[in-house]
Amino acid sequence: MIIKERMEIRDFILTAVLALVTLSLFFIPTRFGSPSDLNTARVRAEILEVDNSTLEKYGIVTTGDQGLTMRIASGQFKGEIIQGANMLIGKMEMDKLFVPGDYALVTLSLNEARDTVISNQVVDHYRIRVELVLLLLFIALLIVYAGWTGFKAVVSFIFTAAAIWKILIPGFLVGIPPVLLSLIIVSAMTGVIIFLIGGISRMGLVAFLGAISGVGTTALLSLVFGSAFRIHGAVKPFAETLLYSGYPHLNLTSIFLAGIFIASSGAVMDIAMDIAASMREVQEKHPGIGRKDLIISGLRVGRAVVGTMTTTLLLAYSGGYTFILMVFMAQGTPIINAVNLIYVSSEILHTLVGSFGLVLAAPLTALFGGLLYVQRGAAVPAD
């Protein structure tokens, strides 16, 4: 009973510390952007009237400027009526049309005293509130369903998002070697997530070692096969735009390769935790189990989990390329041509290298479990 209480106190302290660390990450300044941003304000604005008289339609494409009359709905200029323009350039994935009653995110350019609006730019439909509602529903579902564990999952979720936005992305932009930086950040995120959910215990250590082994293997394979596939980082959307935005020094290929094991690290953590938790359960039900038998049990669990996890990666990546696959099918593109294209090959590399990490993480986790759960031929407590 005393041991259980100590574990609960330790778990609470760890969660509280990581929650504070997560909160502090959001206060780290990124120091990127233009000096002119100091004289700007981003506000929510209601569309009152639209003027479509200058729009021209060519088949399914619409171009021209849509005139907008808007009322600012937030910030120091709330209530002011402003005129703006929504420029359509003929690209459906980027263009948007407004109707009266819509809300838009608008960037205001201000004078030096920041008390007068000089000009404005309509960014897009305002989605912040609905995004926030969805996030809060997700958090509520986690906490209602999983209780304290759900709250810890929320902390790990927000920590991961903050670490990526406040440390990983700025690190890439300043030129820190992407693969090395990604390995450090992914290792930190893996430790936080696993020890937060699994606790500081043998189970957490087994899952962490198994996950790190899988991530490390994926990183190594991405470097080896990325070179063999002859794939450069510019294959990804907005990569070339980044170079022209004042960052020509960036190694896009290294960033692309780092993205491979970043993307698969979540699935690797899942399989490592599944096997570590299953082996702990077996050990608790059979305290006298030997190391060899426990490892075999872990391997059997791993075989079952790997079978579905590898397909999960395939579905996750292919789901984002539905339209490309439909174009290939509609145009009758031979399969040999399709799989040889650079952007299709990049997804094949993503899927297969990520799957390698999954498959290897399973037996490695089972091995670590056998070594840590059973010592000198006798089972020891998992926590």
Tens of pLDDT along 117-171? Answer: 999 999 999 999 999 999 999 999 999 999 998 999 999 999 999 999 999 999 9
Q: How confident is the model at residue 7 (pLDDT cuts 50, 70, 90)?
A: low
Final residue of a structural domain among 69, 99, 126: 126
pLDDT of residue 158: 94
Measure the CA–CA gap between 318 and 351, rounded to whole angstroms: 9
Query: Mean pLDDT across the stretch 57-84?
Result: 92
Final residue of a structural domain among 92, 109, 126: 126
Q: Are residues 95 and 230 in the same domain?
A: no
Longest dimension (CA), the chain: 83
Domain of residue 351: give its range: 175-379
What is the overall mean pLDDT for the chain?
88
pLDDT of residue 210: 95
Q: Are residues 283 and 361 in the same domain?
A: yes
Identify whether 366 is part of a domain: yes
Parallel/antiparallel/unpaired status of strands 103-110 and 117-125: antiparallel
Q: Are residues 254 and 346 in the same domain?
A: yes
Q: How confident is the model at residue 68 (pLDDT cuts 50, 70, 90)?
A: very high
Q: Are residues 109 and 43 in the same domain?
A: yes
Q: Are residues 235 and 356 in the same domain?
A: yes
Identify whether 151 is part of a domain: no
pLDDT of residue 298: 93
Q: pLDDT (tens digit, 9 = 90+) per residue, 261-309?
A: 898 898 899 999 999 999 999 988 888 889 999 999 999 999 888 877 7
Q: pLDDT (tens digit, 9 = 90+) per residue, 234-243?
A: 888 788 888 8
Do 107 and 95 form a contact (C-beta atoms < 8 A)?
A: no
Identify whether 345 is part of a domain: yes
Measure the CA–CA gap between 310 and 254, rounded to whole angstroms: 24
Q: Are residues 185 and 323 in the same domain?
A: yes
Query: Mean pLDDT across the stretch 35-60?
Result: 87
Q: Are residues 278 and 184 in the same domain?
A: yes
CATH code where residue 353 lies? 1.20.1640
Identify whether 148 is part of a domain: no
Q: pLDDT (tens digit, 9 = 90+) per residue, 346-372?
A: 888 888 888 888 889 999 999 999 999
> How many CA atoms within 13 Å lie on the side-chain side of 355?
19
Tell me the pTM: 0.84
Q: Are residues 296 and 369 in the same domain?
A: yes
Identify whether 24 is part of a domain: no
Final residue of a structural domain among 68, 93, 126: 126
Query: Mean pLDDT across the stretch 174-203?
Result: 91
Q: Are residues 109 and 202 in the same domain?
A: no
Torsion of CA 190, 191, 196, 202, to 10 degrees: 120
Q: Are residues 190 and 117 in the same domain?
A: no
User: How distant, in Å, are the alpha carbons of 35, 42, 67, 360 from that of 118?
Assistant: 17, 13, 17, 59
**Domains: count for the chain:** 2
Q: Are residues 216 and 354 in the same domain?
A: yes
Measure the CA–CA gap between 367 and 50, rounded to whole angstroms: 65
SS3 330: helix
